[in-house]
């Protein structure tokens, strides 16, 4: 006991534990653990625990009062049980590395901006013309976003966090619109997208209304790129949790997570609950395996989104098989809303456009609608959820486990 007190006092004199900002990459995943402490445990005691167990602190997440640690040189990781037995420790867990994306690319070729009009003509129910080279995509039209724009609501200034593969800052749809971001894998590296998934998601949320290409649901919202996944769509659980912590610390007003896994865990849920504690709504993809809702969408505080087919369906039975809900879409009691998720044309790397299908694409429609609700006066998770529920209209032929409250009509966000 005396030795513990001496170590704690020494570290308290030095201040916060020294942190080595090492990358949360695949190479070190097996050596990383996370320890969550009770809110009453001070920094000095956390540092003392790490020192006692031969651990080096590589992340210190204040919102969760948690440390990410790895063994000091020449040491090995302690057992979960050993750390859990310490006073003030709430949870302990190992990092994991996995593939987090399962969006299905539609069978359209990637096209440069000047030829996008020809591709638009081949897509179902594309919608109203905005300008010579710009169209409202079928999904944006299906949620009736232009009705909100006509009232002057384009989501102006709402802070939208996109937790994904990053966003391409060079795409013309985002000129001056990506206000900030972080690389939660390695803070020394850029947050720019090197995959396209995050850029595609961001385009559905907030591609500019600028007479070019496509337009998002909330074209005046401010985007923040939180890169948590690699160019292969893979990443560590802790990088994702770090991205969530960044959203809390930087005051996002709504967060989009078009990613997921079939199993959750205590650490993941605790991080998601920090968004709820900060009154930040989380919009998350239900999943694309046609089965149970994935995590984080399945957590109670998240808003889970399933995927809607175009009116009239699609010729590909793997996408739409005679039902309004996409064949691949996960479903269950956790689903809150349904949104367009089949052959959604949006932004990808290199200033180009491509159609993807998936609940990954349905989710940003709801995130954009949440931004419209926030811009219209709904503040905080409960108010945003209530506004979206009031604006939702049930889709004929679907039950609650498939669509939740239904499809949101932006014109009803009043």
Which are the catalytic amino acids? 164, 197, 360
Q: What is the rounded distance in angstroms from the CA atom of residue 142 to the CA atom of residue 136?
A: 10
Q: What is the rounded distance in angstroms from the CA atom of residue 106 to the CA atom of residue 342?
A: 8
List, in order, residues 6 or more apart from 215 with CB less than 8 Å away. 130, 134, 135, 136, 137, 140, 207, 208, 209
What is the three-class DSSP state of 101? coil
Q: What is the rounded distance in angstroms from the CA atom of residue 303 to the CA atom of residue 137?
A: 23
Asked if residues 358 and 323 have their Cβ atoms less than 8 Å apart, the reply is no
List, in order, residues 6 or more apart from 245 with CB less than 8 Å away. 61, 62, 63, 64, 271, 274
Q: What is the rounded distance in angstroms from the CA atom of residue 124 to the CA atom of residue 143?
A: 15
Q: In terms of Cα–Cα distance, which of 226, 100, 236, 96 is closest to 164?
A: 226
Where residue 411 falls (left for φ over 0; alpha for ψ -120 to 50; beta otherwise) is alpha
């Amino acid at each position: 006991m005396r030795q513990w007190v001496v170590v704690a006092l020494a570290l308290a004199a030095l201040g916060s534990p020294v942190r080595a900002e090492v990358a949360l990459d695949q190479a070190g995943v097996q050596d990383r653990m996370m320890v969550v402490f009770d809110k009453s445990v001070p920094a000095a005691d956390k540092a003392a625990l790490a020192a006692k167990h031969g651990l080096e602190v590589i992340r210190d997440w204040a919102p969760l009062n948690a440390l990410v640690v790895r063994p000091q040189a020449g040491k090995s990781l302690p057992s979960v049980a050993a750390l859990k037995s310490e006073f003030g420790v709430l949870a302990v867990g190992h990092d994991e590395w996995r593939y987090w994306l399962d969006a299905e690319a539609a069978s359209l070729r990637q096209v440069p901006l000047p030829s996008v009009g020809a591709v638009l003509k081949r897509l179902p129910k594309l919608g109203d013309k905005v300008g010579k080279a710009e169209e409202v995509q079928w999904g944006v039209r299906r949620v009736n976003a232009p009705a909100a724009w006509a009232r002057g609501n384009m989501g102006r200034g709402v802070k939208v966090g996109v937790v994904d593969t990053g966003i391409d800052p060079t795409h013309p749809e985002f000129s001056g619109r990506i206000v900030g971001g972080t690389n939660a894998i390695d803070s020394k590296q850029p947050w720019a997208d090197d995959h396209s998934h995050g850029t595609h998601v961001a385009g559905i949320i907030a591609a500019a209304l600028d007479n070019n290409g496509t337009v998002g649901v909330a074209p005046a919202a401010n985007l923040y790129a939180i890169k948590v996944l690699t160019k292969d769509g893979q990443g560590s659980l802790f990088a994702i949790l770090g991205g969530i912590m960044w959203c809390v610390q930087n005051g996002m007003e709504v967060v989009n997570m078009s990613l997921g896994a079939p199993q959750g865990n205590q650490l993941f849920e605790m991080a998601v609950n920090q968004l709820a504690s900060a009154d930040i709504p989380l919009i998350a993809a239900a999943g694309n395996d046609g089965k149970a809702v994935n995590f984080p969408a399945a957590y109670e505080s998240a808003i889970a989104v399933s995927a809607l087919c175009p009116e009239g369906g699609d010729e590909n039975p793997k996408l739409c098989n005679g039902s309004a809900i996409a064949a691949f879409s996960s479903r269950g009691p956790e689903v809150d809303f349904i949104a367009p998720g089949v052959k959604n044309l949006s932004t990808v790397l290199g200033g180009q456009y491509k159609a993807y299908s998936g609940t990954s694409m349905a989710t940003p429609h709801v995130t954009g609608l949440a931004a419209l609700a926030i811009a219209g006066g709904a503040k905080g998770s409960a108010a945003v959820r209530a506004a979206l529920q009031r604006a939702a209209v049930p889709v004929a032929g679907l039950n609650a486990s498939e669509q939740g409250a239904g499809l949101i009509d932006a014109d009803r966000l009043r």
